[in-house]
A and B are shown apart, each in its own frame.
Chain A
Amino acid sequence: MAIASAGLSKSLRRRWRFSEKLIESFILLNGLLAIIVLLGVLFLLLREGLPAFAYTSPWQFFFGTRWYPVSEPPTFGILSFFMATLWVTLIATAIAVPLGVGCAAYLAEVAPASVRETVKPIVELLAGIPSIVMGLIGLLLLSPLVQGLFNLNTGLCGLTAAIMLAMMSLPIIVTVSEDALRAVPKEFREASYALGATQWETVWHVCLPGALSGIAAAIMLGVGRAIGETMTVLMVAGGALAVPYAPTQPMMPMTAAIASGIGNAVRGGPQYQALFAIALLLFLMTFAVNLVADRVLERQKRKFAR
């Protein structure tokens, strides 16, 4: 380096060094941007959301069943929103997990290459369909089906939303589970075959247990998707304000409550703040789910690392 730049003038080298420092700090700033945005989101939600607790006690907020944002004085109880989120997320996960893990096991262990090359792009295609289009499918195609099948007053209910959410969380469950299954060392399978196990016995007793933490992480990421999905539940879940006792009732998950309320809320007013408080809760829930999923995934990676 010294030899090569010996021919360059001193001032040029000094200018290089100065611009180098300037550029480096600018690059560092961009590197830190992910942290800045994440903290920014948290800070903003706290700043706009916490004042809501001046009107409502946390107990009333979390366990109250009445959401009357414009009555005098307003009441903000989000239990029905929370229960709705719980219903659709649980059912969506119950549908998506066996399908997603089954599909991943098929792709990773059984399917011939040609089938895999066809199925994988379709799964990626599913991941690329905008949530508004999935909402439309739920609204116009699935909800009449659900209504007829379960003999309901309306097909716009938690169950319909949950089925659409299940579809939308499938791509991440399939992709992450398949990666986890592929990470199980080949020797494990060979040892299993050498002991006389069939291919299915190997998948069931060796591959799936070996990939279990990766699959668990995949499921958690899917749950995170389902909790945070907005447009589909806004269009399809029915939007009723009562606490839902059955999945076939119309309901309003937390994301839908925010999306449908924010347009009418007076900026900086009590309702606006209460909606930010819901968003804060959503943020913390998805944050926790993702953090745990990451930890579990790290453990899976270390397990077979050589």
Chain B
Amino acid sequence: MIDLSRTIFELVSEFPELKETMVALGFKDITKPGMLQTAGKFMTLKKGSVMKNIDMETIKKKLLDDGFCVKEEEE
């Protein structure tokens, strides 16, 4: 279950395979040594979407394609 508002660090710690999906989506900085453990603790998929200009729908679709469940935020 991928909660879009959790930090990337937490998510990747829990689901290591998520890293590959994120790289495929264009979050390339995640592979830089030390990035995940620092900025990753403050980065969420939502922030990343804004920052990297990657559409949230694209992210959700890719996550689903790669077999993740996505937890939608409560309105």
The answer to whether A and B assemble together is no
